[in-house]
Structure 1
Amino acid sequence: MTQGDAVAATRSSPRPWEREPLAYVVASLRGVGQVDLQPALLTGAFILAGLWAAGWKVGLFATLGTLVSTAAAYALDVDRGSIALGLQGFSGCLTGIALVVFLGNHVATYLLAVVGCILCTVLTAALTHVTRPYGLTALTAPFCLVSGAMVLGAPSFGRIWHGGSPVASATSGDTGVTWSDLWHAFFTNVSQVFLVGEWYVGLIMLVGLAFAGARVVVAAALGSIVGIVVAWALGAPTALIAEGIYGYNAVLVAIAVGAVFLANTAWNIGYALFGAGVSTGLTAAVTSLFEPFHGHTFTWPFILTTWTLTAAVPLLPRLRPADG
């Protein structure tokens, strides 16, 4: 079961084991994997290991964010099945990472992370309620809304803003691509889903995705390749292609549409890869849209592309939703 099952989730009374600390830890670990729409325990474990390999700050805030969001879901009596699948933790995971990346490791960042991750749980419920009639899920929209607002507003508060990380410019640079650029991009497209630009982190995460099944890891790999090809064809700067800036949304779209929400058919796979290419172009558009007011693209291209593609499926007879 994945995020696609959230639409049909029903409330159930918690079993005794669901009240135990171990269930909380397992749900949180699955929440890390659910960033890539996968609840497999080993997938979450490998991804979290990759985040700690990227640096203790990233690993710590990813862990803190997931734990806080999951705990907030328990406290607010959210459906236990949803919590157990990790569906309440993944936006908190990304929010924790985003705050430490853009605001730095300060006391205020920890406080913002706690508040932001609780907000993620509330927004997840709100957006799930709003999107459910259309057969959609919230995806990572709670993360984008909470992190976007906090990072954008941070410079106005002296006790919060400490300079942060610079925003990469996507407007200039060499467009020639070397073999080194290509293989770095292949892996960093995976790691940049978590705002991490180290290729070895992407490799660790791909290993984790393999534990979710061959279909998932193949979708991620194909999405990464499509992201590279489309970015290069459009003339994106080589440095940003190699850093995974243009390809991470393509990876997410390929997984979501090609391995989660739609059935495993040739038409659906082609549709997913088409969406991966579209999200790559949309990444540049969203970045340019946010640039004048120093906003951040995050995973908005993935969200908008996936919502559009999945909402259209009922009126496209060649395509078939996943069973269940």
Structure 2
Amino acid sequence: MDILEKKLPFVSEMLKGVGQIMLQDNIWTGLLFLAGIFYDDYKMGFAAILAAAVGTLTARILKYDEGEIAMGLYGFSATLVGVALTFMFRADALIWGAVIVGAALATVLQHMAIKNGIPVFTLPFIVVTWAIVFALHSFTAIPPADPLVDTMVLSEEINNFTASTNGFGEVIFQGSFVAGVIFFIAVFLGNPVAALYGLAGSLFGAWIALFFAEPLKQVHMGLFSFNAVLCSIAFAGTKRKDGLLVMLSSLLAVLIDIYMLKMDWSVLAKAGGVLTFPFVAGTWLTLPVKKVLYRIND
């Protein structure tokens, strides 16, 4: 992959941008993420590539820091915008235009945050997607995307094992068991510790949701786990205190997720749902705790 970085740096930046969705500065991770998306739906796969390219190109045109571009920091929010829009709406010309505009806007917001040292994580994706989805629901009659074939499991049985990997899949709007496994392997290649923490976080998120009597099918689909997966990856490390931070952030993220869903805000439903906001909020609330813990000697 060093050859790819030297010969085709733009492709390398794009793939790392896709990989940064789960905080991995790794070309193979990004490539496997794309493979998992294409497995579930080729339109979302093409949208991911287009959005990652637009985000990376926007960063280059606006002359953002080359090191940040090379790490893929301007690709992950853009990629999520592209996948989200083609997941929610039928992919007609207006949606493809929205993917391009949304990816560029997410990149600009990401740069503003990085420049000011604000750890926004996926917030640019959330803000841009909420705005575009709300506008499309309010001013257009674009129908929702065709329902995907239910390939979540390889049999009719839904079980706790599939819930652990489905949490990975739902981070990028993928519901199949195969995509979830591919995403787990992709993160494992970049950071084995983060992947295993993500697996534990996915199960922990499912357990919390079950404790609050959330619908079993949604729990097994990973809809209450994907924010916990992101929190677990964000705080993954080899120290005991890292495990505490993973548990705290995952707990907060799932509770925020459940609270937002229980409130049943119509404006939120019209804007596309909670997305990864619980992950962002849970991480923000945990970062001050991390500072305190790391000031204490082992």
TM-score (normalizing by structure 2): 0.89
Aligned partners of 1:313 and 1:319 also within 8 Å:
no
AA aligned to 2:247 is L
Once the two structures are TM-superposed, the CA of residue 180 in structure 1 deviates from its matched residue by 2.6
Once the two structures are TM-superposed, the CA of residue 114 in structure 1 deviates from its matched residue by 0.6
1:118 to 87, 99, 104: 104
**How is 1:248-263 mapped onto 2 (pairs within 5 angstroms)?**
248-259=226-237
Distance (whole Å) between structure 2 residues aligned to residue 162 and residue 118 of structure 1: 22
Once the two structures are TM-superposed, the CA of residue 199 in structure 1 deviates from its matched residue by 1.4
Once the two structures are TM-superposed, the CA of residue 319 in structure 1 deviates from its matched residue by 6.2
- Residues 259-300 of structure 1 deviation map (CA, whole Å, 9 limit, x = unaligned): 4xxxx2112212212221221121111234463222310000
Query: 1:128 matched to which residue of 2?
Result: 114
Q: 1:59 to 1:317 in 2, by over 3 A?
A: closer
Once the two structures are TM-superposed, the CA of residue 77 in structure 1 deviates from its matched residue by 0.2
Query: 1:202 matched to which residue of 2?
Result: 180
Distance (whole Å) between structure 2 residues aligned to residue 271 and residue 213 of structure 1: 18
2:286 to 309, 315, 318: 309
Distance (whole Å) between structure 1 residues aligned to residue 288 and residue 61 of structure 2: 32
**How is 1:57-68 mapped onto 2 (pairs within 5 angstroms)?**
57-68=43-54
Query: 1:30 matched to which residue of 2?
Result: 16
2:260 to 271, 274, 286: 286
Q: 1:311 to 1:165 in 2, by over 3 A?
A: farther
Query: 1:244 matched to which residue of 2?
Result: 222
Query: 1:268 matched to which residue of 2?
Result: 242
2:121 to 139, 144, 169: 139
Counterpart secondary structure, 2:214: coil
AA aligned to 2:278 is P
Distance (whole Å) between structure 2 residues aligned to residue 222 and residue 68 of structure 1: 34
Aligned partners of 1:73 and 1:88 also within 8 Å:
yes
AA aligned to 1:157 is F
CA RMSD of aligned residues (A): 2.2
Q: Which moved more, 1:226-235 or 1:179-188?
A: 179-188
Distance (whole Å) between structure 2 residues aligned to residue 290 and residue 23 of structure 1: 45
Residue identity (%):
26
**How is 1:1-324 mapped onto 2 (pairs within 5 angstroms)?**
22-130=8-116, 132=117, 136-158=118-140, 161-164=141-144, 180-259=158-237, 264-289=238-263, 291-293=265-267, 294=269, 295=271, 296-317=273-294
Once the two structures are TM-superposed, the CA of residue 248 in structure 1 deviates from its matched residue by 0.3
TM-score (normalizing by structure 1): 0.82
Distance (whole Å) between structure 2 residues aligned to residue 85 and residue 66 of structure 1: 13
Runs (5+) with no aligned partner, structure 1: 1-16, 167-177
AA aligned to 2:253 is S
Once the two structures are TM-superposed, the CA of residue 112 in structure 1 deviates from its matched residue by 0.6
Distance (whole Å) between structure 1 residues aligned to residue 290 and residue 20 of structure 2: 23
